[in-house]
Chains A and B, each alone.
Chain A
Amino acid sequence: MLGVIRNKSIRHTFSNFRHFSSPAKQMTVRDALNSALDEEMSADPKVGEYQGAYKISKGLLEKYGPERVRDTPITEAGFTGIGVGAAYYGLKPVVEFMTFNFSMQAIDHIINSAAKSNYMSAGQISVPIVFRGPNGAAAGVGAQHSHCYASWYGSCPGLKVLAPYSSEDARGLLKAAIRDPDPVVFLENELLYGESFPVSAEVLDSSFCLPIGKAKIEKEGKDVTITAFSKMVGFALKAAEILEKEGISAEVINLRSIRPLDRSTINASVRKTNRLVTVEEGFPQHGVGAEICTSVIEESFGYLDAPVERIAGADVPMPYAANLERLAVPQVEDIVRAAKRACHRSVPMAAAA
């Protein structure tokens, strides 16, 4: 169902039809990540992957050998520090966290050893490292395993933070991350690994790469802008479908890049639609939506016809029970409601009681 909708929306946004003369191949996000890693490791002998789980690195050990694909002990501070040190020396490591919850054990190395080194050394030390792994809520894994780190890492100068949604995103952004000379935090989503998306021949080519810092307009619209990243992009697109039937044309922006944030695309969209809904799975306070809201107020205040609606996960540690978990993360109906509020609410006149 989602695949068919995506094909339709792609035809509207792409002006060049040549890519779609043959039916698009389907690829899961897992395979997209795996193929991106494979190609980058093949292209550059300095790229290596450390820590393996979730089958993202399937087949790479056989192909590249244990020198380049290393399973480490479950000691994040140690192996992350070693990865950063290897990057100081000139290698291009890809360090996998089983989930980003465990990155907190190594966060000193990500922030203080990796992100800040280029600045502190006035450019002498560059750190071409990628930290990747699943981020945010999964299914029934409880509070300690469901935290979203997008806003944590997104606030740190010296880091680039990416959040792919589709297989095209996964391939293009991971390749860009590996090729980038600076540390990149690559936030995947466990529940998206098995999802399939159409990929064009251009995406499958080994030279394919997406620019860091550029958002993608997944669906154009004129009444309200909805920003999202990772799994929420899918929910936003579903919400847009529902809204369409009710006469509200939503523009869905897939952020792709949390840091640097594509402020110009977001602001251009809001200047067109005059209304904004930000969606994220993570906690609301100091979240990605808060930053987007401020950016729009700073640059496009006069264009807003309604207050910005911020949809985020509930401000509680993630509960285990399935019904509570469902209530703790945004659902499609929450996005629909917020979009309607943004569209139908008007600013009350000062004199009204």
Chain B
Amino acid sequence: MALSRLASSSTVGSNLIKPITAAISLHHRPISSDATTTLTIETSLPFTAHNCSPPSTSVTTTPSELLSFFRTMALMRRMEIAADSLYKSKLIRGFCHLYDGQEAVAVGMEASTTKKDCIITAYRDHCTFLGRGGTLIEVYSELMGRIDGCSKGKGGSMHFYKKDSGFYGGHGIVGAQVPLGCGLAFGQKYLKDESVTFALYGDGAANQGQLFEALNIAALWDLPAILVCENNHYGMGTAEWRAAKSPAYYKRGDYVPGLKVDGMDVLAVKQAVKFAKEHALQNGPLILEMDTYRYHGHSMSDPGSTYRTRDEISGVRQERDPIERVRKLILSHDIATEKELK
């Protein structure tokens, strides 16, 4: 009923929402009887560690978890593509930074955290917000400046918040969210909440000075802060090899341990995040580098093809797409049929 309200608000919107309702109908399918059997799946790539021992590449999961990964990532993908059309129809104004391609990071993170753990990110926040429990209505209303938006239309694309689920935004200034995230971790430690904070940033922000200032203080004070570099290899239009003398972001912490993770593999993300949480609660900060990719340009005003080739983009889509990977896993383990996953 919530979705039909959205559909009636504009014809453009209703055409776009139909595919999403189809994806959501998966909710009502009876799940196979062995939904809780444990499966152990190997991550596609090993972890690379810096100053720590990497976690095992064997990840435990269940059929229902895999299905929920698929469902949520597909929802996120379609949500972002719909936002693209809404922006081009001028129903969304100003900034719009899309996350399609990077869904595995948001979804994998939710699999190993609770809502007491905090997440703070920059402006590419629609899917992260959804992962934390936000609804489509809140996302689209906010993007279109309506009062039902998560920030009542006063924030816009870059300023989604959901404090009751530990999601602290939604920040427009590159790099600012990292010291803020370390501050959240400070609060968690001070109040002895036994929870951690994940401060997400991109390869572009990885060169920001305030990041190192915050990391230094976090390491000095043993804060339970995990810095997660979502390395999609382009800081706006600048490729990482042109922006960073050392693009090994997981090593940038020097005295702070780091782990490089295949960010297109949701199970690898799940494992790495679980490892990071345990580490941070005992030993202080850690850096996770998620090797990921965004299909869209930096924002809606960036076609994304002036600084990278279309072949590169389609190559990643064919070989590393996170949703396709989970689809193959589900089919190969006979958890659902091809038709059911459409």
Same complex for A and B? Answer yes
Residue on B with the closest CB to A79? B217
Chain A, residues 38-82, CB within 8 Å of chain B (1/0): the string is 000000000010000000000000000001001011010111111
**A122 and B154 contact, CB distance less than 8 A:** yes
B151, B173, B188, B216: the one within 8 Å of A122 (CB):
B151
Check A120–B184 contact: CB distance below 8 A.
no
- B220 cross-chain contacts in A, Cβ below 8 A: 73
A113 within 8 A of B: yes
Give B154-184 interface residues, CB cut-off 8 Å to A.
Answer: 154-155, 159, 161-163, 168-173, 176, 178-184
Tell me if B181 and A85 are in contact (CB < 8 A).
yes
Whether, in the assembled complex, A108 has its beta carbon less than 8 Å from a beta carbon of chain B, the answer is yes
**Contacts A73-B216, A77-B210: A84 and B180 contacting too (C-beta < 8 A)?**
yes
Q: How far is the CB of B144 from chain A (nearest CB, A)?
A: 15
Contact stretch, chosen from A88-96, A183-191, A327-335, A338-346: A88-96
> When the two chains form their complex, are residues B186 and A82 in contact, meaning their CB atoms are under 8 A apart?
yes
Q: Give the chain A neighbours of B162 by CB distance below 8 A.
A: 124
**In the complex, which range does the number of interface residues on chain B fall in?**
35 or more
A113 and B180 contact, CB distance less than 8 A: yes
Closest to A121 in B: B161
CB distance from B234 to the nearest CB of A (A): 23
Question: Are A81 and B163 touching (Cβ within 8 A)?
Answer: no
Are B161 and A112 closer than 8 Å at their CB atoms? no
Cβ of A81 and Cβ of B169 under 8 Å apart?
A: no
Interface residues as binary, B249-287 with A (CB distance below 8 Å gives 1, 0 otherwise): 000000000000000000000000000000000000000
Q: Which residues of A contact B172 (CB under 8 A)?
A: 112
Q: Which residues of chain B in 102-160 are interfacial with respect to chain A, using CB atoms and an 8 Å cutoff?
A: 118, 120, 150-155, 159
- B155-A81 in contact (CB<8A): no
Q: Are A86 and B151 in contact (CB under 8 A)?
A: no
Asked if B151 and A81 make an inter-chain contact with CB atoms under 8 angstroms apart, the answer reads no
Residues in chain A near residue B120, CB distance under 8 A: 85
At the interface, yes or no: A83 with Cβ under 8 Å from chain B? yes
In the complex, the answer to whether B187 meets A121 with C-beta atoms within 8 Å is no
Within 8 Å CB of A256, what residues of B?
A: none
B170 cross-chain contacts in A, Cβ below 8 A: 120-121
Judging by beta carbons under 8 Å apart, are B155 and A120 in contact? yes
| Closest chain B CB from A17 CB (angstroms) | 46
B214 at the interface (CB under 8 A from A): yes
Chain B residues contacting A79 (CB-CB under 8 Å) are 179, 213, 217
B213 & A77 in contact (Cβ 8 Å cutoff): yes
A125 contacts B by Cβ under 8 Å: yes
Interface residues of A, Cβ cutoff 8 Å to B: 48, 67, 70, 72-73, 75, 77-91, 108-109, 112-113, 117, 119-122, 124-125
**Pairs A–B under 8 Å by Cβ, sample size 11:** A77-B179, A77-B213, A81-B178, A81-B214, A85-B183, A85-B184, A86-B184, A88-B187, A109-B176, A120-B154, A124-B151
- Contact residues of B with A, CB < 8 Å? 118, 120, 150-155, 159, 161-163, 168-173, 176, 178-188, 190-191, 209-210, 212-214, 216-218, 220-221
| 7 interchain residue pairs of minimum CB distance | A85-B183, A81-B179, A78-B213, A89-B187, A75-B213, A122-B152, A85-B180
